[in-house]
Every structure is written in structure tokens, then in C-alpha cells.
Amino acid sequence: ELPTVNVLQDLSGGGSDEGRAMLEIIHDVAPGADLHFRTGFISEYDFAEGIRELADLTEDGTPDGLRIIDIIVDDLTYLKEPYYKDGVVSQAIDYAVSKGIYYFSAAGNFGDKSYEDTFDPVATDEPTIYRHRFDTNDGLKQMAVDPGLYVLGLQWDDNYYSLGETDGAQVDLDIYLTDAAGNKLFGYNWNNKGADPNELLYFRVLNPTTTYLMIEQELAPGQTAPATGVDFKFIFFRSGDDGVLEDPSDPNDFVEDNLGFSTVVGHNNAAKNIAIGAVGWDASPNWGLDTFAAKGSSSMGGFTNVKEAVTSIAVPRNQPKLMGPTGVATSFFGFPYSAGGNTYDFSFFGTSAAAPHVAAAAALLMEGVEGFMKDATGNYTSAYQAAPEDYTPDKLLIDNTVDMSGNPGYDAKNGFGFVSVDAALQSFANPIPTFSTNPFYDVLQGTSPDDLYSGDGTSSSLVFIQGAYFTDQTEVLFRDTEFTSNPNLVDTNGDPKPTEDLGTTDENTFYVLDGNNIVIYLGTYLGNPLISVYTPPGSDTNQTDGGSDSEELRNIDKEPIVIRTDDDSRLYGQDNPDFTFTVYSFDTATNGPGDPLPEAEQNLFQNPELFQVSFTTSADATTDVSDGSEPVFVAIKLDDATGAPLVDQSILELYDIQVTDSNEDPVFDTNDYPEIRSDIYESGNLTIEPMPVVIEPYLEDTDGTEITSWEYGTPLPPVAYKYTYGEPDGETPSDIDETALTNALDANQLNGISFVNGISFVNGFNLVNGFSFVNGEPTLNGFSMVNRAFFASESTEANADTATANGISFVNGDGTEKLIPLDVSLINQVQEDETTNLDIVVDFQYEP
């Protein structure tokens, strides 16, 4: 889809719209270029005027304004353009180039169907007519022709009236078709004296036949002898439907001995033009061919007899300059063509398609120079300022071509070679190296899925990288570690050595084989490491060139997992155990843990050098007994000093535990630490079981020691308790937090054993109705209970509620003790007995 095109002038009708097809090619190669169009099909002189109009375009429309045209390209050939001198179109090209514009043109599609010679007169029966001697004195040249239109143009080295040489041509040459006897069958016989030295011969052949060419010189009135030393040249601009002139079976036909001269003439051969030849896109370096050749129809160059306007000295023009691709697809122009298993409905062929390719390539180079050779302030780098002529697009293209058919340098068919924008850019700026779609292989230049890299890091192996834009400055990085370039990885022929010829010192090194291939010798590794290729900026640029590309080595997906705390249990009062975890595969059906990972993978997560976790729970030693309801959470541990998650890069590479963005790229926090997904964890459960305990009361002295005896009648010492943890006669449980457990038991025994109806033990057995210990003596309604006994009947004990039923709370479990109520009758009896001095006998005790 073309953008807006500034059309200066177009044909009013009848054209093929070939210019639009050329614009499509330019836009495809250089999509950011502004496009302008001006027809050149009206006439040779209007064509020259159009070139000047384009060259004079400025932003403000004034002659001194900023020029807006950088490159002009055409694909025209006017048959009467001068061969031996620069015509009006060539002069217009000189004008445009003087404005700083680069001019490109199609070299032409006439192959080498041309003949050159110096007129060698042979007398005829007519005294004023002389024939040119081809091979024999009859002055005839046999030629096999097939059906189709033929257009033959003849010119000779003489004055051109149209170029201001007022005397015009001094010699009159004519060209004819004849039979074998020299009888003229067809010809125009224009009188060129005083005009331009050219003749055109148009004829159509209906059936295959043989004819003869004859060139004559007719003497002017008063001329007694033919002119000698007159160089002439004729070109078949059209040569039938099949474009074939010669008959290989006939040794007398026009074969190599006669044809095979330059057909790049006119403005296409102008000194300041850049003529472009054609190479089929499917026969070019990009098609993977080591040698390739120009299209047969691409015009031959090398015509050296063009005389400079000032000196009239003939100088070599070395056209065509460059070769470009042809046969490319357009949206509307051309004809069907099949290649590489594909058929393209509209394929544009000829140098007319090659020229816009190279012109657009020049635009890319101009942009590259501006982008890489100017600093942020708009000033050119010192390298550019030292030699700006080295950075013109034509020089960059010509100096950095791909040699064709084993012919380095210039030759008349291939110019200086096939255009290479990559090489031209790399001559001053470094490219960004890139990986191919599947870059890693077990074999060099692998092509099939079976050739893809199959290693897993358990042993050393060769890895072959495929890509583009690798240079001798390209570096290879394994994760963030730079490998060393190692020429020992290849033999004297530059071929990679087998692994048995390599040693441990060769491990983790690489070598750039060419622009598309690198070999690595990898040692053992864990994970799915990122392999990067990096090319630094060029030394002469503004340092914005170069760059890198990265790909994971192994063609595997990260495995989704769930990390779950293993369930565990402990006794009340114990410290929490050392929690453990297990890693499970992720079950998409349940959206939770699936099967545990194999043992080898579990071991990776249990290796503290690769992976560490931390556990959190609200449960502590004194958390109430529970049946697995206490959650224990697991998470990747963070480094105490930096806050970085303690997980090895290899784990991140193999398992789907890092947050990714919408492009599936891993996400890092502001400290450049990996962000870990929160949905990979599942908590486990902690069960807290009752702690067996034996509680022994004892009397405590003021110094905290146990009182084993005291004097009768003295106040009762304070009661304290001893706690023995664990089953009687069993081992004491480990990891007991005795301080916390003892404090909890003390609090429950002394401050928390609650009896029904407000009767409670609080640091001294405070009982209902004043039944209390005063100064160490128990009293009831003010009556001393010293040396008194209470007795409750068996039926009273049997019918009593358990302590639990009435709210008595026991530490670490429920008791079965009975509660014997002391009712008012007992109190009244105590008072009565106290009055009468009788003993009250009551057995007051807990019974298990």
C-alpha cells in the first residue's frame, strides 16, 4: 500500500503504470522515504526537463530553499539518445548530481545484442555506395530470426546536430535487411548529413527465417571516397518474441564472434549515473547461492567510446555500476512467476525492477549515515569529518558488493557486484546480531527438527548457533557470563572439530564461523540458560549501533508447580518443629497440587545452594490444642541483607515461578530481583496435641525451696506446684518451652481454676461465705478449721457433678474430678460444733 506520492506530472493516459510499480518497490525497501513522481515518457527532451524539475524542488519553492529530493531513479531508454556523446538526458543527470542528488537508472534489458566496428568500406556496383565488410567482401551478415518485433538502432561517431553541433553528421550510414544475394528487402535510408548520426530499423517477422544485415555508406555530392575510421555500433533493442538472435547450429550466424558488445548507452552510460543491472531474486546471495549471475537480458556495459563534451576524449564509464534483484512481486504489475514452491501473480522483471531496489538501498544508507555518524547535537563524528566522501551511498554500495560468478571487482556484465546494504552498513557501523527462528542445533547448518539441539547439560556438547549479522566482534554470553572466543574449536579448514578432539579447557568457549553460524563448546550446566549474542558499537560511530539477541538454549516450557508445606504435629508447649515442604506438579483439573515431582527434581529444591524457603505460622508453644487447624505458610526465603529471593537462576529457568508480563517476559522489581509468583504456594497444617503433665503441689518456703515439714500450729506455708511433662515413666518430650508452659500452667492453677457458684481458688482458696484461709489457717464463718475434718457420704460423692461440667478448667485436658458442695447445713453444723466444742469430720478432697 503506497503512501501519498507527490506527482509533478503524469501521462494523460495510455501508460502501463510501471512507475507505480517502481514506487511500490522503493516503499517496500525504504518505507520511510518520501515519494515523488514525474513522468519521463513524453519525449527525450521532456524527460531531461523532468529531471531538472525534480532536482530544483525545495521546501519553500524558492531556488535557494532546502532541497527535498535526495535520489532520482528511472527505467527509461530513448532509442535515439546519443551513444558517443552525452545527450540532453545525460546533461540533466549532471545537473541533478551537481545539486547533491544521487542518480540511478536501469541499465537496460538488451543483453549483449550489440555489434561494434570501424567502417571498413567495400565497393559495390554503384560508385557512390560502399558496404561495410563483416566477414566477407559481399558485405553481408547472416542472421536467424524468429517471429516477433525487432528494433535495431545504429549510430556512429559523428557530430550531433541536436546537441548544438551545427554542422551535424558528416557521414551517412544506412542499414538494410537483404537476401543472400544482397538484394535490399527492407530499410529506411534516411539522409543523416547535417543531422544526428543515427538510424532505426523496425521490422516484424512472421515465421522463422534467415535474413542478412547490410550497412552502407553513401557518398555525398562531390565526395569521391568513403570516410574511413568511422566507428559505428548497432543494438537490437528488441529481438523477437523469444529474444534470441543466433542460431547455434549455424556457424555463419551471429554468434559470439560478432555480437557480445555493450548495450548500456545513452544516459544509462552517463558518467555520473549509477546504472543497475539485474539478478533474479531466486538466484541471488539471499537465496543461499555461493555463485550467481546476472540475467541474460541485463544489459552489457563497458562501452568506452563516449567522448567528454569539453575534451572530446573518450573515457571509460564502467557501467553498469551495481546489480540488484529483479522478478519481485508487486500488487498489480507484471506476470505470474513460480519459485521456491510459491507462485506470484504479479512479478516485475528486468533492470526496471532492479534499479528502484538499489535506489531505495541508497536511501537506507543515507539514513544510516545520519543515524550512526551524527551525535546528539547533530554534529558528525570525527571519522566522518575526516573523510566525508567515504560515506556517500554510491561509494558505500560500490565498495561493499558481493562478488558475482567468481569475478571480484568490475566487469562489464556484473558491474562492481551485487548490492549488499548489510555489508555497506557494516563497513562503518556494527549490526545487531539476530538468531534464526530455531537457532540451536546439534549439527552445523542443521535444517530438520531432528537436528535441533538435544542436550540437557549433563555432559559437554557442541552447540551450533544459526542467525544473521554475526561478525568477528560478536560475543557470546551464557546467562550473564561472557564466553571466550576460541579458534581451537575449528580445524585448519575452518570446520568445527569433533568433541573427542576438544578438552576441558575448550569448554564454555565459542567461535564465529561466518556471518550466519557460531559454534559453542558447552560444559555441563543446570537449567535452561539464556544464550546471548552481542556485538559492540563500531569505533567510528556515535555508539548507537550494535546490539544483542537472546534465546533460551533448550526448546522446553517452564513447568508449573505448587510448593506445599508438609503437614506436621507437636505437643502443647513444644516449640514448632522444623517444617519441610514438597514440590508438586500443577494439576490444571483441580487448579492445585498434582503429583509430587520426581526425586531428582525434589533434590534440586532441597539443595540450599539452589533454593531456600521460610515458614510462617501464628502458632507458638502455648497455642491451644488443635486438630490440624493451624496453617503453616511457605515462601521463598529472602536474603537478610539484600532482600533478594534465594533461588538459583536455573530453578527460575526450569519452573514457572517468576511473574511475567503480557509478552511472557520475566518481571523484575526495582532492585532488579525476580518477582516471584504468589500463587505457587500452598500452606500445610500443624496439629497441636495435649501435653501429658503430672502436677505435684508442694509447700514453698520464702526462699523458694520446698518445705518438707513444719511445726504444728504454725501458719500453713504457700502452696506451689511441680510439673513433670510427658507420660509417666516415659521420655520427656524434646523442644519444650518450659518457661512458657510453666507460666501457663501456673496461671491456670492459681488464677484460673474456676468453680461453680463463684467458689474459686485464688492464691489461697477463697471460698463462699467467708470460708477462707486467713493467715494460713482455714476458717469457716469465722470459725477456725484447724484440726477439723469434714466427711461427705459416698452417695454425696457419687451424685456430684464432674468439675468439667461446672466450668472447672484444667490445663492440657479435661479431668474427671468430682465437686463436693459445702452447703449451709454443713456450715451450720460447724458453728454448732464449734459452740459445743465438738469435732466436725469431713473428708474434703478431689477424687480421680
pLDDT in tens, 31-90: 999 999 999 999 999 999 999 999 999 999 998 899 999 999 999 999 999 999 999 999
Q: Taking the CA atoms of 132, 135, 137 and 139 in sequence, report the sign of the dihedral they define.
A: negative
pLDDT of the residue at 108: 97
Q: What is the mean pLDDT of residues 512-529?
A: 97
Q: What are phi and psi of 728, to 5 degrees?
A: -55, 140
pLDDT band at 293 (very low <50, low <70, confident <90, very high): confident
Cell of 163: 546537441
pLDDT band at 278 (very low <50, low <70, confident <90, very high): very high
- The candidate with the shortest Cα–Cα distance to 480, out of 542, 523, 531, 432, is 531
pLDDT in tens, 201-242: 999 999 999 999 999 999 988 888 999 999 999 999 999 998
Other beta carbons within 10 Å of 834: 18
pLDDT of the residue at 80: 97
For residue 822, pLDDT over 50 is answered with no
pLDDT of the residue at 408: 82
pLDDT of the residue at 818: 52
- Backbone torsion region of residue 318, taken as left when φ is above 0, otherwise alpha when ψ lies between -120 and 50, otherwise beta: left
Q: What is the mean pLDDT of residues 763-775?
A: 44
For residue 848, pLDDT over 50 is answered with no
What percentage of the chain carries pLDDT values higher than 90? 71
pLDDT in tens, 79-132: 999 999 999 999 999 999 999 999 999 999 999 999 999 999 999 999 999 999
In 353-460 the beta strands, taken as DSSP E runs, fall at 434-441
For residue 758, pLDDT over 50 is answered with no
Q: Give buried/exposed letters for 462-495 (b at 16+ CB in 10 A, else e).
A: bbbbbbebbbebbbbbbeeeebebbeebeeeeee
Measured CA to CA, the distance from residue 33 to residue 200 in angstroms comes to: 39
pLDDT of the residue at 802: 52
Measured CA to CA, the distance from residue 605 to residue 636 in angstroms comes to: 11
pLDDT in tens, 631-690: 999 999 999 999 999 999 999 999 999 999 999 999 999 999 999 999 999 999 999 999
pLDDT of the residue at 776: 46
- CA 289 → CA 285, 398, 403, distances in Å? 5, 21, 12
Cis peptide before 147 (omega within 30 of 0): no
For residue 538, pLDDT over 90 is answered with yes
Contact residues for 609 (Cβ-Cβ < 8 A; gap 6+): 648
Task: Look at the domain 1-78+89-109+268-296+322-428 and name its fold.
Answer: Rossmann fold (3.40.50)
Residues 646, 636: contact at Cβ < 8 Å?
yes
Reported as half-sphere exposure (CB side, CA atoms, 13 A), residue 661 has a value of: 7
DSSP 166: T
β-pair type (509-514, 484-485): parallel
Q: What is the mean pLDDT of residues 411-431?
A: 95
For residue 540, pLDDT over 50 is answered with yes
| Host H or E run for residue 700 | strand 693-700
As a whole number, the mean pLDDT across the chain is 88
For residue 832, pLDDT over 90 is answered with no
pLDDT of the residue at 28: 97
pLDDT of the residue at 135: 82
Q: What is the mean pLDDT of residues 415-440?
A: 96
pLDDT of the residue at 718: 87
Measured CA to CA, the distance from residue 235 to residue 115 in angstroms comes to: 7
pLDDT band at 398 (very low <50, low <70, confident <90, very high): very high
Measured CA to CA, the distance from residue 173 to residue 233 in angstroms comes to: 11
pLDDT band at 830 (very low <50, low <70, confident <90, very high): very low
| Host H or E run for residue 72 | strand 71-74
Residue pointed to by grid coordinates 469457716: 780
Comparing 69-78, 128-137, 270-279, 512-521, which segment has the lowest mean pLDDT? 128-137
Cell of 657: 515461578
Q: What is the mean pLDDT of residues 783-793?
A: 50
Strand order of the sheet with strand 335-339? 328-329, 342-348, 335-339
For residue 768, pLDDT over 60 is answered with no
Residues 56, 68: contact at Cβ < 8 Å?
no
pLDDT of the residue at 623: 92
The 3-state secondary structure of 152-205, one letter per residue: EEEEECCCCHHHCCCCCECCCEEEEEECCCCCEEEECCCCCECCCCEEEEEEEE
Partnered with residue 67 across adjacent β-strands are: 58
pLDDT of the residue at 562: 98
| Host H or E run for residue 687 | strand 684-689
- Backbone torsion region of residue 441, taken as left when φ is above 0, otherwise alpha when ψ lies between -120 and 50, otherwise beta: beta
pLDDT of the residue at 246: 65
What percentage of the chain carries pLDDT values higher than 70? 86
Q: Is 249 helix (H, G, I), strand (E, B) or coil?
A: coil
For the residues of 339-351, what is the DSSP string, one character each?
A: ETTEEEEEEE-SH
Residues 250, 180: contact at Cβ < 8 Å?
no
Q: What is the mean pLDDT of residues 186-211?
A: 94
pLDDT band at 501 (very low <50, low <70, confident <90, very high): very high
pLDDT of the residue at 301: 96
Q: What is the mean pLDDT of residues 152-170?
A: 95
- Backbone torsion region of residue 729, taken as left when φ is above 0, otherwise alpha when ψ lies between -120 and 50, otherwise beta: left
pLDDT in tens, 565-615: 999 999 999 999 999 999 999 999 999 999 999 999 999 999 999 999 999
Q: Compare 502 and 800 and report the one with higher pLDDT.
A: 502
CATH no. of 114-261:
2.60.120.380
Cell of 817: 474430678
Q: What is the mean pLDDT of residues 296-323?
A: 87
Q: What is the mean pLDDT of residues 691-720?
A: 87
